[in-house]
Amino acid sequence: MSRICEITGKKVIVGNKVSHSNIKTKRTFIPNLQTKRFFIPEENRYITLKVSAQGLRTINKKGILACIKEAREKGYLKK
């Protein structure tokens, strides 16, 4: 699977590594992804998601059900 957060949609971006002598070479910025299991009490089941650290904070703030609904509407989650 690709390195994309299933809640926020964060993915790998490309930028420059800049040395002390200002030489630029390409590099990638990888999001901080964690595989986590969440319990959904309304459906009485667990769901496993690959979420970023920012996605975990969003889930703590809004709740797992609201985040899943929003992610499906935006197309980040296809389950």
Q: Residue 45 and residue 43: Cα distance in Å, rounded?
A: 6
pLDDT for 53-75, tens place per residue? 999 999 999 999 999 999 999 99
pLDDT score at 7: 96
Q: What is the pLDDT of residue 78?
A: 82
| CATH 3.40.50.150 correct for 13-74 | no
Q: Please say if the pLDDT value at position 79 is more than 60.
A: yes
- 1-48 pLDDT, tens digit per residue, is 589 999 999 999 999 999 999 999 999 999 999 999 999 999 999 999
Q: How far is CA 78 from CA 7, 9, 13, 65, 70, in A?
A: 11, 12, 22, 15, 11
- Report the predicted TM-score, pTM, of the whole model to 2 decimal places: 0.84
- Residue 27: closest CA among 13, 38, 16, 12: 16
**Can you give the pLDDT at residue 2?**
84
How many CA atoms does the CB half-sphere of 59 hold within 13 Å?
A: 21
